Amino acid sequence: MMHLAQETPLTSTGFKVICESCGSLSIKLADTRSGSQPVVRCGRCDAVRGTLAELHSLARAGTVEFEV
């Protein structure tokens, strides 16, 4: 089981790194043609995890650490 060491970047962007429905880390690629805010979904249960813009913001922050 993974635990988040820091939650600040997750709450500031709104993107869910870990799916709240099933606990998966996998995501489905967003359809960038679907408008200005493409939705990123869980690769396992298809729940909405956030927007592509939120994922990009989280990636630029680069401060999320996981404890395994």
The predicted model gives 4-30 an average pLDDT of 72
For residues 50 and 13, the answer to whether their CB atoms sit within 8 Å is: yes
Residues of the domain holding 11: 3-67
Count of structural domains, the chain? 1
**How far is 2 from 4, CA to CA, in rounded Å?**
7
User: CA separation (Å) from 10 to 16, 21, 31, 33, 45?
Assistant: 7, 16, 22, 25, 20
CA 60 to chain centre: 13
Give the pLDDT band of residue 14 (cuts 50, 70, 90).
Answer: confident
pLDDT of residue 5: 39
